[in-house]
Structures are given as C-alpha cells and as structure tokens.
Amino acid sequence: MKLSYVLIAVGIYMCNSSANSVFAGCACNTNVDNNGTLNFLDYAITYDCARLNNCAGCLAPDGCDVNCDGTVNFADVAAVHWDFLALPGDACNQPLGACEPTLPGNHPSCIDTTEQHCEDANITAGTFHGDLSMCSNGQPIDIPTLSEWGLVVLSLALLAGATLVLRSRPLATAGP
Ligand SMILES: [Ca+2]
Ligand SMILES: [Ca+2]
C-alpha cells in the first residue's frame, strides 16, 4: 500500500469522524414541519429535501437541517429516523457510515447514515459498511480497522529494516 493511500484514508477518517458533529446551540429539532408532533411525515419531508431538494415542507426554524451543519443530507434523515424510533441518545450525534440500500425505490446507491437507519427493514434494508466508512461517487469506501493499520505499520517497519540491512552489506567481489 502506498503511503499516499494511507494519508488519504487518514484524511477521509478525519473528515468522516467530524462530519456529524453538531454545532453549538443546535436544537436538533426533528419535528421538521414544526407542527408539534414527530411522526413519519417528518421523515418523509426530510427525505424529500435531502434526496430531491424538495424542501417546501421544512417549516422548523432550522428547516430540515436537523443537525445544523449547513446542509440537508442523509445525516439529517437519520436523525429524524432516530427520534421517530425513540432510540436512546442524541439523534444528531450518532456515528455515520456508508450504507448501500437494497430496497428498490429512489434512494441513492450509497448514503452516509446511521447503522440503525441503514438496516431498517421497512425503509432501506441496506448493507452497512461500518461507522468509519463513507460514500464516495456512489460507492462505499471502507476505512482500515485498527488491526489493518497495525499491518500497514508492520509492513513499513519490515521494509525499512530490510533496506538498512541490504545497505550495510559490502558489495560482493569477484572471486580469485
Ligand atoms: Ca411533525
Ligand atoms: Ca444537516
């Protein structure tokens, strides 16, 4: 593996790990149509805004940008889904990863969302690629696990050691 690939993977991980952080003061309001009730309609409205840029139903102060990061995408859809299922914890601060939906419909081929949203049999029934993965050009990119990073470091150490040994050997000379 080239060092540049390692650096790119680290960069992607850094970007991905900070992608779903919520900005200070964010209300994380999943009742996006601002009617006082959270139901499936809020999910559908957020989905339409994220997927089709049809955001007319987003009437909350933050619109459908539930996690207040300046854009409406499947992280926001995942937050609404999280609250809709009344799962424990902050709906806007759950880990995201690449998901390939398997149910037909108008989902994109790969979406960055929560594992719970991805694997919801009633919605996407998708294949989740782990919290440290992300979509790129419609394809999931898996980030190496810690043990895989260990293999990378070990390989580089072996390569460096072999180089040092070979350099320290005197050149072979012709026989008498
Ligand atoms: Ca609502
Ligand atoms: Ca957002």
Q: Residues 41-79: pLDDT tens digits?
A: 999 999 999 999 999 999 999 999 999 999 999 999 999
Domain of residue 14, residue span: 3-141
Q: For residue 67, which ligand has an atom nearest its CA?
A: 2
Report which secondary-structure segment, H or E, holds 100. strand 97-100
- Give distance in angstroms: CA of 64 to centre of ligand 2: 7
Q: Does any domain span residue 146?
A: no
How do residues 86-138 score in pLDDT, each as one tens digit?
999 999 999 999 999 997 667 899 999 999 999 999 899 999 999 989 999 99
Q: Does any domain span residue 150?
A: no
Total number of domains constituting the chain:
1
Average pLDDT over residues 22-33: 88
Q: Does any domain span residue 164?
A: no
Q: Does any domain span residue 174?
A: no
Residue 152, exposed/middle/buried by CB under 10 A (0-12, 13-18, 19+)? middle
